[in-house]
Amino acid sequence: MSNWVKILVAVGLLALAVGLYALRTGNVNDITDRTDYNARLKCRECGNEFTAKLDTAVRAPFKCSSCGKMAAWKLWQCSQCGATFVPEPIGDPPHPPITAPCLKCGSSLTSQMLVKDE
Do residues 14 and 48 share a domain? Answer: no
Confidence at residue 114, expressed as pLDDT on a 0 to 100 scale: 83
Do residues 18 and 45 share a domain? Answer: no
Q: Is 4 part of a structural domain of the chain?
A: yes
Number of structural domains in the chain: 2
Do residues 46 and 103 share a domain? Answer: yes
Strands 70-74 and 76-78: unpaired
Domain that holds residue 50: 36-112
What gap in Å lies between CA 100 and CA 109, rounded to an integer? 9
Q: What is the pTM of this model?
A: 0.68
Do residues 26 and 48 share a domain? Answer: no
Do residues 46 and 29 share a domain? Answer: no
Do residues 42 and 98 share a domain? Answer: yes
pLDDT in tens, 30-57: 556 667 789 999 999 999 999 999 988 8
